[in-house]
Chains A and B, each alone.
Chain A
């Protein structure tokens, strides 16, 4: 057995986990680790704020299905990752964040750049570790990656004290992973699956309600086959968009607070709801006691705590979405299902068509440059093929209302935590993962200022992402709520004091473009796409547009406010 330093073991473990990309920001506590990385062929991307490192790793993970990796220093380096960790935690994204820590004898002494990283990150990670001895380092690295990527994925933090990185020991790579308290269930209970299928056969108005779990499980093909086999309308949560093709005739679009009229009406009238990889979040259900009141509910999810947490379900099935759907197809081979034909469901589908024709997704076209128009043009010019990240708020909602996602892993948005400032660093991570694809961050002027410093990162590594700022000089979504529910008392939402975004882009060495009229939108988009550099596009849009439909907080899904 060779004698290796902690830093060498660190790099060896990363290579064993097939890590080839790290987003990070150095500091005193991680000097030894960075010294070792200097010699390795792992690509390191230096960000300008640790929050961006985590968002970038998050975007990279969502784009590839691999574990995203970050390296930051102790103290403020670690605390700066908290928002990124909470973002990944809420959306179940596999990220491993490696934090430096002060040397073990100094822990707990209020040392320079010391923070109780473990205590601070405990509630926003799937698990975390403090490496107290070099003898534990290899095992902990291996376990951390395993925990991050299996079961319901999630972020894991490893706190590594500086003396551990300098220490030396005889090292043998950990072969087996032994975590007695961790054994996620991936296979569904076949009895339950059969009961669910029996319900489906009898249902008159069934539908599928799918979420991010479908995408994480890579189950889009099985889902499409299942939906078509039983002619089931499909509605998606924000996190599930792309899990089922948005342009498919069976697609109802997104449901929930800003979902389509037909999706919300359909789920409120359904007699059977099959939920797969979704968790009945409050943005989706609206008023819980009025949610899907006519329906029996089947819930397929890998996390038992999500089942019957908000809404009590009739048939719970714990398992991996892909596996359970495959099992369902096996069970369908049974004799009793042989004579089964795909039902026509004419009445139910006609009802849904009627709701579709209500065209609630509309906006007034009065010659001004509307934000919805900009997103429509982005969709047209990219032919729906671009990889889209979003920030949070109105920009996010318009992005998913007016851009149809036909495949998984094309939309990258902070759904659960709703983190402003996520989109741009995530776009950098996505671009690193997919260097040949067009990546566009649809942003608001508020959100983009939260991580605009990453323009330096984009320029340094020439990541040619495009930022489309729907600039209305307001904290848009908050302004909308103040307009609808607070008598237009616009408290603290005026953001008209903003940088000239074109000059800001140029100040960093990126390209800046602007459009203020409808006719300028398409030419400017085409110019941006043709430019092999990071581009910021400042779209000056109508100041007081609102997102419709909207289900007000505390209202039932059927009580949508339409334009």
Chain B
């Protein structure tokens, strides 16, 4: 089962290396990982999407907590949380497909952030489902490149 794990860490060099080293050394899979500073510049927050059965996920959570630089680990899966991802999609925009691309951009409430005579670069944010849906719709028109950030997530409520 896929799990979304939010990790609060000390904002020091090497912390990212430690976490990714932990996953690879123990054979855990990282599907996506994002990290950035929080309000307090001393701390950063990582959002990791990983996969495994209950026993593996329990090990992952415990091993993360064991790291000295890790302050707090929350498994958001199964709880109420807001998830978002950002994707930049460079899609072919020929004469025949140009209009259709723009219509799709509107439907998904996304934006065109770059344009050439042959391509549009689209910026879209949303849940993973939304991003995947847009990619599927654009694919027949010819996607040049997709850059995704990976998921960030925050629990709902206070």
Chain A positions within 8 Å of B, measured between CB atoms, are: 118-119, 122-123, 126-127, 130, 147, 179-182, 303-305, 308-309, 312
Please report the C-alpha to C-alpha distance between residue A179 and residue B68 in the assembled complex, in whole angstroms: 8
Contact B14 A309 (CB under 8 A): no
Contact B10 A181 (CB under 8 A): yes
**Closest approach, in angstroms, between the C-beta of B32 and any C-beta of chain A?**
22
**Closest approach, in angstroms, between the C-beta of A427 and any C-beta of chain B?**
31
Contact B55 A305 (CB under 8 A): no
List residues of chain A with CB within 8 A of the CB of B14: 118, 122, 130
State whether the Cβ of B70 lies closer than 8 Å to any Cβ in chain A.
Answer: yes
**Closest approach, in angstroms, between the C-beta of B64 and any C-beta of chain A?**
10
Query: Please, could you name 27 A-B residue pairs with CB atoms under 8 Å apart, sorted by A?
Result: A118-B14, A122-B14, A122-B17, A122-B21, A123-B21, A123-B25, A126-B68, A127-B68, A147-B68, A179-B68, A180-B10, A180-B71, A181-B9, A181-B10, A181-B67, A181-B68, A181-B69, A181-B70, A181-B71, A182-B68, A304-B62, A304-B65, A305-B59, A305-B62, A305-B63, A305-B66, A312-B55
Contact B10 A308 (CB under 8 A): no
List residues of chain A with CB within 8 A of the CB of B17: 119, 122
Contacts A305-B62, A308-B58, A309-B59 aside, 9 further interface pairs with beta carbons under 8 A come to A119-B17, A122-B14, A122-B17, A181-B67, A181-B70, A182-B68, A303-B66, A304-B66, A305-B66
Task: Give the number of residues in B that approach A within 8 Å (Cβ atoms).
Answer: 19
State the total of A-B contacts with C-beta under 8 angstroms. 35
Query: Which 7 pairs from chain A and chain B are nearest by CB?
Result: A305-B62, A127-B68, A181-B71, A182-B68, A304-B62, A181-B70, A123-B25
Please report the C-alpha to C-alpha distance between residue A119 and residue B24 in the assembled complex, in whole angstroms: 14
List residues of chain B with CB within 8 A of the CB of A122: 14, 17-18, 21
Chain A residue at smallest Cβ distance from B18: A122
List residues of chain A with CB within 8 A of the CB of B65: 304
**Closest approach, in angstroms, between the C-beta of B66 and any C-beta of chain A?**
6
Chain B residue at smallest Cβ distance from A306: B62
Please report the C-alpha to C-alpha distance between residue A304 and residue B65 in the assembled complex, in whole angstroms: 9
Please report the C-alpha to C-alpha distance between residue A312 and residue B25 in the assembled complex, in whole angstroms: 22
Please report the C-alpha to C-alpha distance between residue A182 and residue B72 in the assembled complex, in whole angstroms: 10
Find the residue from A119, A181, A303 having the highest chain B CB count within 10 A.
Answer: A181
**Closest approach, in angstroms, between the C-beta of A142 and any C-beta of chain B?**
14
Please report the C-alpha to C-alpha distance between residue A86 and residue B67 in the assembled complex, in whole angstroms: 17
Chain B residue at smallest Cβ distance from A309: B59
Chain B residue at smallest Cβ distance from A118: B14
Chain B residue at smallest Cβ distance from A147: B68
List residues of chain A with CB within 8 A of the CB of B25: 123
**Closest approach, in angstroms, between the C-beta of A194 and any C-beta of chain B?**
24
List residues of chain B with CB within 8 A of the CB of A312: 55
Find the residue from A180, A303, A308, A312 having the highest chain B CB count within 10 A.
Answer: A180
List residues of chain A with CB within 8 A of the CB of B18: 122
**Closest approach, in angstroms, between the C-beta of B80 and any C-beta of chain A?**
26
Chain A residue at smallest Cβ distance from B71: A181
Please report the C-alpha to C-alpha distance between residue A181 and residue B69 in the assembled complex, in whole angstroms: 6
Please report the C-alpha to C-alpha distance between residue A304 and residue B60 in the assembled complex, in whole angstroms: 11
Find the residue from B10, B65, B66 having the highest chain A CB count within 10 A.
Answer: B66
Please report the C-alpha to C-alpha distance between residue A259 and residue B17 in the assembled complex, in whole angstroms: 40
Please report the C-alpha to C-alpha distance between residue A29 and residue B14 in the assembled complex, in whole angstroms: 22
**Closest approach, in angstroms, between the C-beta of A436 and any C-beta of chain B?**
38
List residues of chain B with CB within 8 A of the CB of A182: 68
